[in-house]
Amino acid sequence: MKVLLLKPQTYYNESGRAMSKAATFYKVGPEAVTMLHDEIDLAPGRVRVKRGGGASGNNGVRSAIAHLGADVRRVRVGVGHPGDKSLVMPYVLSDFSKADHDWFAPLADAICKALPYLLAGEDERFQTEVMRLAPAPKHDPKQLGRPTTE
């Protein structure tokens, strides 16, 4: 099996265009595309795989749906919500804090180790394995590491 890892050089909000061009070039349909992205509606360190549905306000996902359709598989990586709607944009555009690296580095490693399950289409087993290898941290939602404008 061949796998292509694509990191679009576009703005994230336009990443669907690059994904679509790569899919066309390699002659694969949207069902063969998997997008990994941050998800504020999941607690930090949680991972869920989803196919179908809307973008939930995520402009990169919106772009992928617009260019490839809703069948794109999405690996949603929880980063938590900053607590107030007005803080969402600066939160998602900021870098991870040093405290976030404590849970993100093991999570990224777990995603890599569990990747064979994802490639085999075993989405539930992939999620289970990621969570086994890197259990989600216990976070107080008011103590998220990234800066806020409070």
How many CB atoms are closer than 10 A to CB 95?
Answer: 9
150 lies in some domain: no
pLDDT at 138 over 70: yes
Report the number of distinct structural domains present in the chain: 1
Kindly report, residue by residue over 24-78, the tens digit of the pLDDT: 999 999 999 999 999 999 999 999 999 988 998 899 999 999 999 998 999 999 9
* DSSP per residue, 89-101: HHHHHSPPPHHHH
- Residue 148's pLDDT is 38
* pLDDT at site 97: 85
- Residue 57 inside a domain? The answer is yes
> Which residue from 75, 73, 133, 69 is spatially nearest to 103, judged by alpha carbons?
133
Structural domain including 102 reads 12-139
Residue 147 domain-assigned (yes or no): no
Instruction: Identify the band that residue 142 occupies on the pLDDT scale cut at 50, 70 and 90.
Output: very low
Say which CATH number the domain at 99 has.
3.40.50.1470
Q: What is the mean pLDDT of the chain?
A: 89
Q: What pLDDT sits at residue 114?
A: 98
Distance of CA 3 to the CA centre of its chain: 18
- Give domain status of residue 146, yes or no: no
